[in-house]
């Protein structure tokens, strides 16, 4: 069964929007073993839309069209499908009653812009939209089922989960079971890892497809098999990779550094506090983004200025004037202050120069000091990351979480990134 995707929207072509919808669609149909084979993205132009819909519909069994269902003039999907199928646009009673209920709940009057969303090609089947004002719809065109979905991610997700994924699973059951085993790693580069595999596993079996995804900050590794019969070989490969990569593995599936840390702290029944300068709250936010964070995290300190490092964390003024805010002494004092004021068991503290300004010859932009540990032992490390401000904040957050993860797991080995990333003194 072949599924293709057609994404529409000028914003997708001009660089003003990053498309997250297609990844979501792929993820949600993967559960029933389905896979997007090809996707095409074009702007909001009626003629182009009709041409591309026709061309794709000839190549696949299901065409999911995303975007262009909205109330505005640049929303053209219903019109395009009407042209393609030569069915007139008519007001669909189900779409209208959906819109009425939607407006009622929000105490809004129905307006002409919204009414446009009820004008659909004759003969379509309606797909409910749990949260938005525009329903989805589908139509058989020759041998292709064309499914039109909204561009708003939250609406799309519910529609995919509640209606479209079950429809596809039901209508096109998959016999050949593709199965992927995914895990996340941090601290080894893609080429180093590939070379380690080449050297230590030259007998890699053809049945197991090896895939990589350079994320920020994690590197994802995937082992894909095309048949359930190869499950054992897949598992063997995974175990050998586990031996090879050891403590660089964060966890299975989409496990993040924050999730890993929360789980480790929960097991120990211990808590964490965070004192942040250059990351400005990002480490705390990455922890509290995870449901259940409150079991291990009670307080964080964003001490952006020197005065606040003194006042909120009790950092000694002399340490700041003698060593500077970006120093082992100051991050240690920040971590100590955070432990003391929050009564947490573990602490992370970071202070660095995110840029674009503020660097010096001794401490260039990209320099950071990280402290991590507990009352008994606080470790510090200086690192250097050449990345623009936001990227710097993200990699510093990730690295500080990884250092705490290594501490919680009592990993003694020094991570490779200490060698590659250590600041040159």
Site for its own copies in 202-261 (CB under 8 A): 209-216, 220, 222, 224, 254
**Shortest gap between Cβ of 410 and its own copies (angstroms)?**
27
Structure tokens at 301: 């300190």
**Shortest gap between Cβ of 157 and its own copies (angstroms)?**
9
Structure tokens at 266: 């929960």
d(CA 93, CA 313): 63
Stretch in the footprint of its own copies (CB under 8 A) among 9-17, 166-174, 227-235, 399-407: 9-17
Residue 402, number of CB atoms within 10 A of its CB: 24
420 near its own copies, rule: CB under 8 A: yes
18 near its own copies, rule: CB under 8 A: yes
- Are 309 and 276 in contact by the 8 Å Cβ rule? The answer is no
d(CA 299, CA 340): 11
340 near its own copies, rule: CB under 8 A: no
- Are 151 and 68 in contact by the 8 Å Cβ rule? The answer is yes
Nearest to 372 by CA among 422, 424, 321, 332: 332
Site for its own copies in 53-72 (CB under 8 A): 70-72
- Are 77 and 65 in contact by the 8 Å Cβ rule? The answer is yes
- Number of residues this chain uses to bind its own copies (CB under 8 A): 114
Please select the residue that binds its own copies; options are 299, 384, 411, 423, rule is CB under 8 A: 299
Site for its own copies in 355-414 (CB under 8 A): 355-357, 386-391, 393
**Shortest gap between Cβ of 18 and its own copies (angstroms)?**
5
- E strands along 56-113, which residues? 62-66, 89-91
101 near its own copies, rule: CB under 8 A: no
Q: What is the three-class DSSP state of 421?
A: helix
288 near its own copies, rule: CB under 8 A: yes
153 near its own copies, rule: CB under 8 A: yes
Q: Which residues contact 158 (CB under 8 A, 6 or more apart)?
A: 129, 130, 131
74 near its own copies, rule: CB under 8 A: yes
36 near its own copies, rule: CB under 8 A: yes
Phi and psi, residue 5, nearest 5°: -125, 140
425 near its own copies, rule: CB under 8 A: no
Q: Is 80 exposed, middle or buried (0-12, 13-18, 19+ CB in 10 A)?
A: buried
Query: Given the DSSP bridges, would you call strands 272-276 and 346-352 parallel, antiparallel or unpaired?
Result: parallel
d(CA 155, CA 171): 23
- Residues 115-134, one symbol each (x = binds its own copies by CB under 8 A, - = not), give --x-------------x-x-
Stretch in the footprint of its own copies (CB under 8 A) among 8-16, 84-92, 234-242, 329-337: 8-16
100 near its own copies, rule: CB under 8 A: no
342 near its own copies, rule: CB under 8 A: yes
Query: Would you say 126 or 308 has its CB closer to its own copies?
Result: 308
Query: Would you say 54 or 125 has its CB closer to its own copies?
Result: 54
């Amino acid at each position: 069964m072949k599924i293709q995707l057609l994404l529409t929207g000028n914003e997708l072509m001009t660089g003003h929007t990053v498309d997250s919808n297609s990844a979501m669609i792929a993820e949600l149909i993967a559960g029933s073993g389905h896979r997007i084979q090809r996707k095409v993205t074009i702007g909001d132009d009626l003629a182009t839309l009709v041409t591309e819909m026709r061309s794709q519909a000839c190549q696949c069994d299901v065409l999911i069209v995303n975007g262009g269902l909205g109330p505005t003039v640049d929303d053209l999907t219903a019109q395009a499908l009407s042209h393609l199928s030569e069915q007139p646009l008519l007001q669909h009673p189900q779409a209208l009653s959906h819109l009425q209920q939607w407006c009622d709940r929000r105490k809004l009057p129905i307006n002409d812009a919204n009414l446009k969303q009820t004008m659909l090609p004759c003969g379509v089947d309606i797909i409910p939209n749990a949260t938005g004002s525009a329903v989805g719809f589908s139509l058989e065109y020759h041998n292709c089922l064309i499914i039109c979905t909204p561009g708003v991610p939250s609406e799309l997700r519910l529609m995919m989960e509640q209606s479209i994924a079950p429809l596809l699973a039901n209508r096109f059951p998959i016999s050949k079971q593709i199965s992927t085993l995914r895990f996340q790693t941090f601290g080894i580069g893609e080429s180093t890892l590939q070379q380690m595999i080449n050297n230590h596993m030259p007998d890699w079996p053809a049945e197991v497809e090896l895939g990589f995804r350079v994320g920020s900050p994690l590197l994802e590794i995937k082992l894909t098999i095309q048949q359930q019969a190869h499950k054992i070989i897949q598992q063997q490969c995974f175990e050998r990779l586990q031996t090879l990569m050891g403590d660089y593995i964060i966890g299975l599936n989409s496990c993040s550094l924050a999730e890993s840390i929360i789980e480790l702290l929960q097991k120990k029944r211990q808590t964490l506090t965070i004192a942040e300068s250059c990351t400005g709250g990002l480490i705390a936010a990455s922890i509290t983004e995870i449901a259940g964070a409150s079991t291990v995290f009670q307080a964080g300190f964003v001490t952006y200025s020197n005065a606040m490092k003194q006042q909120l964390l009790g950092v000694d003024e002399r340490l700041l004037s003698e060593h500077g805010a970006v120093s082992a002494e100051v991050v240690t004092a920040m971590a100590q202050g955070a432990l003391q004021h929050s009564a947490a068991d573990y602490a992370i503290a970071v202070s660095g120069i995110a840029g674009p300004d503020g660097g010096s010859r001794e401490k260039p932009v990209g320099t950071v000091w990280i402290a991590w540990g507990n009352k008994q032992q606080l470790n510090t490390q200086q690192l250097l990351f050449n990345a623009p401000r936001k990227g710097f904040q993200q990699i510093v957050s990730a690295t500080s979480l990884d250092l705490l993860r290594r501490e919680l797991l009592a990993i003694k080995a020094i991570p490779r990134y200490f060698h590659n990333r250590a600041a040159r003194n």
